[in-house]
Amino acid sequence: MSIRLTRRELLIGGAAATLPSVSMAQSTPNNTRFELQKGQKRPFDRERFVEDCIEAHMEADPVAAVREVLASAVSDHRAVLAGIGDPVQAGLDVMLSSPTLTIFAAAWTPQMNLLPHDHLMWALIGIYTGREDNILWRNGEGGIEAYAANCLFEGDVATLQANAIHSVTNPLLRFTGGIHIYGGDFFATERHQWDPETLQRQPSDGAVIRAMFERENKRYLKLCD
């Protein structure tokens, strides 16, 4: 019996078989995709978006190529929101997890703050709903120090180099959602975060991130009471 691999499985060497179980939006089968008129944008399709990112990642300049795919998608941020859905709690909706590329939609609760943290790999962030304020940090003689800031609005994309350290705030009274893409296995990499008062470096991993989301969702539920 012959086994027929999908185009996506061929591209990522079978990594799709090890993906976390997540809720995936239904996409139109390839053989029934509608024809686009000139100038018309394709509705956001999660599976197609992942395929495009995987292909772009094979280019000579993978960061620039994947950024172009992400920027094109979030330029129509309403379509992305419709494809992913309105955020209802803080968390990560994983689209792809592989040794070389991680893609997920991250949701921040209203006025949520993330400690200064690193990724130890390049990262791209594209906002499709809400707003994300970033403070950028760097290592100094006495520890990390803030040196720049930026505000990401709907449709904006930011690039973070592998040595970047940033803290994140959602300043709005509504949820913020963004597509995050990382040039490596985000969930298998031991990273760091920094205490917001002492700026002492601490270890960070999947368990730390899950605990943070649990605290934020509890805080949000109390605000809604």
What's the confidence (pLDDT) of residue 189? 94
Our count of domains for the chain comes to: 1
What's the confidence (pLDDT) of residue 42? 73
Per-residue pLDDT band for 68 (boundaries 50, 70, 90) equals: very high
In a domain, 93, yes or no: yes
What's the confidence (pLDDT) of residue 59? 98
Residue 112: both structure tokens together:
């949520």
Q: Report d(CA 219, CA 216) in Å as an integer.
A: 5
State yes or no: pLDDT of 5 exceeds 50: no
Domain span holding position 178: 43-224
What's the confidence (pLDDT) of residue 18? 33
Per-residue pLDDT band for 36 (boundaries 50, 70, 90) equals: very low
CATH number, domain of 57, equals 2.60.120.10
Per-residue pLDDT band for 13 (boundaries 50, 70, 90) equals: very low
Report the mean per-residue pLDDT for the chain: 86
Crossing angle of helices 77-84/62-74, nearest 10°? 90
Averaged pLDDT, 109-126: 98
